[in-house]
Amino acid sequence: MTTDTKSTGGDVRLTGISKTYGSFTAVHPLELTIPQGSFFALLGASGCGKTTTLRMIAGLEDPTTGTVHLGERDVTDLPPYKRPVNTVFQSYALFPHLSIYENVAFGLRRRGVKSVKKQVGDMLELVQLGDRAQQRPHQLSGGQQQRVAVARALINHPQVLLLDEPLGALDLKLRRQMQLELKRIQTEVGITFVHVTHDQEEAMTMADQVAVMNGGRVEQLGAPADLYENPQTTFVANFLGTSNLIPAEIVEGASEDLVVSAGGGKLRLPAGRCQASTAAGGRLLVGVRPEKISLVHADDAGTIPDGRNRLTGTITASSFIGVSTQYVVDGPAGSGLQVYEQNVERDSRLAPGAEVVLHWNPAHTFGLGADQAID
Ligand code: ATP
């Protein structure tokens, strides 16, 4: 730990917060608690209301209804500069004529702090730019400039750092490096980071908790693995990766392990992973993530262990992507089912046209309401 930025102050609590513009509702009344010290992501497609939510926390936007609390303190009516909050934007917004050192020192000097050397030095060390102090922003890469922006935003020890698509301007490789870098910085300073992004991989890599937003509402809130493994809506299932949703009907309900008919076969579905009605005759969608599925040639179906869920189909495409082989399979369950298999030897890769059996542990099956639209 190179700085004394670690702070207390409590959770960020949004209570009934909403925003309307004329007759358009950008954010519907929202209840959200962002735990102190967490890395929290607001994730969603363009226009879902995530930036508006962030700006209401910052004080840059007045909520139409509701309150914003930081710990016990109601900050709803405070202007941005009086909130213990700072924001990092995609555009960096560094002062081009000032050195990196002076950019970072800016907030301290504005507050009239005389002796800034140690604090600025520590902050530059935190973002690993100690050796660039005397350079100008244009001499740094995009990722380095963004780190200066983070250092500048942290220098006044905010209780919460808000990040609005901070990596949006970076290329993919740099973006991935910066994701890890921001995560490291957050862990080191220990304050709450609220990060807005439309990139599901970014949210999943960095955040302790993710709120998935859609149409001005939070569709689901949870830890990344939980959202991925237990999506509660088709929107979340499809937004966070591929979900292979298949229309199904419950054949045997009211037990811990439901049996559904789907894709010309019978599949088992743990009742605890079903968000739809579990009564016999109920219609739903069942899903399974591509990497949970194994695939064998139909001639080898006898090698599949008992108790696995199975579906048959024909490979329509296969491609090799790094360590995984990606298959697309059409069959009675529908077209375009995706299967990712790791470490497939080149000689044993199956080619388009092969008749196959897909199989997986039933515990990885999830069920969603059939009335939800498939995106
Ligand atoms: P993006 O990633 O594109 O910024 P977002 O999820 O952050 O999307 P917001 O910027 O929060 O979305 O905007 C939510 C909705 O509110 C959008 O439909 C947007 O057009 C609308 N909106 C935002 N600001 C205003 C405004 N000042 N006046 C009218 N409508 C607005």
CATH of the domain at 275: 2.40.50.100
In whole numbers, what is the pLDDT of the chain averaged over residues?
A: 90
Model confidence band, residue 2 (pLDDT cutoffs 50, 70, 90): very low
pLDDT band of 7, cuts 50, 70, 90? very low
Domain co-membership, 127 together with 156: yes
| pLDDT interval class at 70 (50, 70, 90) | very high
Same-domain check for residues 306 and 262: yes
- Would you say 206 and 179 are in contact if contact means Cβ atoms under 8 Å apart? yes
**Rounded Cα gap, residues 195 and 186, in angstroms:** 11
State the pLDDT confidence band at 371, using cuts at 50, 70 and 90.
low
Residues 209 and 248 in one domain: no
Q: Are residues 270 and 326 in the same domain?
A: yes
pLDDT score, position 335? 81
Query: Range of 51's domain?
Result: 12-229
Q: What is the pLDDT of residue 8?
A: 57
6 part of a folded domain: no
Q: Is residue 193 part of a domain?
A: yes
Are 198 and 248 part of one and the same domain?
no
How confident is the model over 143-200, as pLDDT tens digits?
Answer: 899 899 999 999 988 999 999 998 887 888 888 888 998 999 999 999 999 999 999 9
Regarding the beta carbon of 50 and ligand 1, being less than 6 Å apart is answered: yes
The complex's ipTM?
Answer: 0.91
Number of domains in the chain: 2
Question: Would the CB of 47 count as within 6 Å of ligand 1?
Answer: yes
Same domain? 281 vs 151: no
Bridge partners for 163 per DSSP: 88, 195
Is residue 168 situated within a structural domain?
Answer: yes
Give the pair of three-digit tokens for residue 293. 């599925």
Residue of 17, 18, 21, 90 with the most ligand 1 atoms within 8 Å of its CB, for mutation: 21
Q: Does residue 21 have its Cβ closer than 6 Å to ligand 1?
A: yes
> What is the rounded CA–CA span in Å between residue 261 and residue 195?
41
pLDDT digits (tens, 9 = 90+) for 229-288: 999 999 999 999 888 999 999 998 777 889 999 988 899 999 999 998 888 888 999 999
Pocket lining: 56 vs ligand 1, CB cutoff 6 Å: no
pTM of the entire predicted model: 0.87
Last residue of a domain, one of 229, 249, 276: 229
Mean predicted confidence (pLDDT) in 311-338: 89
